[in-house]
Amino acid sequence: MASEGAAARGLGRGFPADRAALVIYLMAGYPDRATSLAALHAAARGGADVIELGVPYGNPLADGPTIAEAATVAREGGFGLGESIALAAEFLAEAGPDAPPVALMTYLNPLMRMGPARAAAAMREAGVAGVIVPDMPPEAARPWLAASGGIDTVFLAAPTSTPERLATVGSASAGFVYCVSTTGVTGERTGLSAELGGLVESVRAHTTLPVAVGFGVSGPEQAAAVAGIADGVVVGSAVVRRQDDPFAVEAFVELLAGAVRSARS
């Protein structure tokens, strides 16, 4: 369904062939529009391969306190889906053709409120490569998928997913499959689950797409460990915690990028 141009802009191009990709999550509009735009550029300079741009929402069911609190601040600044798409557009236009592809991470209701067709058109116009919607399982995605041609929709796999569900998630996803490392919400954690390797392998068995692991990755050491077993490492809360200082974001992303690049694969 995707045209060649769209495929070239897809999320897949953020995944290098020879190592794991570094996926950096930032909250749109946090702590304000200008700083979040600067943080996007900082993450790109620091070596992010893919950017996941969080859309602030008032009931972030899958998020822990760091991201939930950032969302509250951004919403108080007037940020929602429309503003987040506009922010992505501005970043992508400024950063030019070498910018890392951007996936919007939004909850379903803002998407429904704007309307799938209008939201998809605005995203295409902005150059947004994909979306991740944590409360939209594949079975509930038909209205969105009918409207979202040219935009990759990433679905999530969880430690609790059965093989049948992994098959559903794997075949419904485009761009990559987002593998949630543990049961629970987003947020930094100290250790990695011992079962992570097995989980990634079982997700891989059900898809040809890259598999990125997120939820709980807090620093370079964990990022390197995840890069050794998965095709992508998502770092969220640990970046958002530094987001009010774009210099700190850049320095932290550089550290993470170095760790991911040095990981054995």
> Phi and psi at residue 75, in whole multiples of 5°?
-65, -40
In a 13 Å sphere around the CA of 5, the CA atoms on its Cβ side amount to 6
To which residue do tokens 């944590």 refer? 134
Does the footprint of another protein cover residue 209 (CB under 8 A)?
no
Find the shortest distance in angstroms from Cβ 131 to another protein. 14
Find the shortest distance in angstroms from Cβ 75 to another protein. 7
Q: Residue 128: name the closest of 247, 14, 250 by CA.
A: 14
Find the shortest distance in angstroms from Cβ 47 to another protein. 29
Site for another protein in 101-120 (CB under 8 A): 107-114
Kindly tell me which of 87 and 263 has the beta carbon lying closer to another protein.
87
> Phi and psi at residue 58, in whole multiples of 5°?
-80, -10
Does the footprint of another protein cover residue 175 (CB under 8 A)?
no
251, 16 Cβ separation under 8 angstroms: no
CA 243 – CA 202 distance, rounded (Å): 34
Does residue 52 have an active-site annotation? yes
Q: Residue 234: name the closest of 55, 40, 20, 33 by CA.
A: 20
Of 21, 50, 131, 185, the residue at the interface with another protein (CB under 8 A) is: 185
Kindly tell me which of 57 and 252 has the beta carbon lying closer to another protein.
57
Site for another protein in 144-173 (CB under 8 A): 155-162, 165, 169
- Selected catalytic residue, list 63, 83, 152, 231: 63
Angle, CA of 83, 158 and 51, to the nearest 5°: 30
Phi-psi region of 215 (alpha: psi -120 to 50; beta: other; left: phi over 0): left
- Selected catalytic residue, list 18, 49, 52, 83: 52
Does residue 63 have an active-site annotation? yes
With contacts defined by CB under 8 A, name the span among 14-22, 132-140, 227-235, 237-245 that binds another protein: 132-140
# of chain residues touching another protein (CB under 8 A):
38
Q: Are strands 211-214 and 177-180 parallel, antiparallel or unpaired?
A: parallel
Neighbours of 23 (CB within 10 A): 29
Site mask for another protein (CB under 8 A), range 55-84, x = bound:
--xxx-xx-----x------x----xxx--
Footprint of another protein on this chain (CB under 8 A)?
A: 57-59, 61-62, 68, 75, 80-82, 107-114, 134-137, 139-140, 155-162, 165, 169, 180, 183-185
Q: Give catalytic residues, as residue numbers.
A: 52, 63
